Amino acid sequence: MALKKILTIPDSILRQKSLPVDKVNKEVKTLMDDMLNTMYEAPGIGLAAIQIGVPKRIVVMDLSKDPEKKNPMYFVNPEITWKSDLKSTYEEGCLSIPNQFAKIDRPEKCNVKFLDYDGNSKEIKAEGLLSTCIQHEIDHLNGVLFIDYLSKLKKDIIIKKVSKDKKETERVVV
Ligand code: NI
């Protein structure tokens, strides 16, 4: 299983809309395995395929706090079928926006329809962190990032900071 490079802002690929998966075949499963490993290594609790440059509607997540008790979740073609009016607030971060966090309001509960790792159709009721996380990841599939919910000023500051850090890391003095 391979580790993939996670794209960071301002990479324009992150703004692409991902396409639905026709069938959960071997190739899709290998991609999900690679995504999960890349996410664990980062480390993060959620990753969308577009974050490793693959524009397919696939998300992996693991919200378990204990590294000994892994609980991987796979969502192919996830779709929100219902959202609560009630909102909850979490301080969100994103592997594609390193070291930046902001409080974001999202529906506290939602129902999500998707295909699982074996291609079976499922629907779950999500609340709390699971609800926030799956909404954050589905946003990625539509080219949306959490900074899009912030004021233009806050968003610009974050983009500038990450772009600057990125340049510094890439700088090589010989
Ligand atoms: Ni993210």
| Domain extent listing, the chain | 12-170
Residue 170 annotated as catalytic: no
Q: What is the reported pTM? A: 0.95
- Quick one: which of 46, 50, 41, 70 has its CA closest to 60? 46
Give the rounded distance of the alpha carbon of 38 from its chain centre.
12
Q: Which helix (H) or strand (E) holds 135?
A: helix 128-141
For ligand 1, the distance from its centroid to the CA atom of residue 129, given in whole angstroms, is 14
Q: Can you give the pLDDT at residue 171?
A: 77
Ligand 1 centroid – CA 173 distance (Å): 31
Torsion, Cα 15 109 152 169, to 10 degrees, reads -60
| Phi, psi of 74, deg, nearest 5 | -125, 135
Domain 12-170 sits in CATH 3.90.45.10: yes
pLDDT tens for 74-117 read 999 999 999 999 999 999 999 999 999 999 999 999 999 999 99
**Nearby residues of 118 by Cβ (< 8 Å), 6 or more positions away:** 24
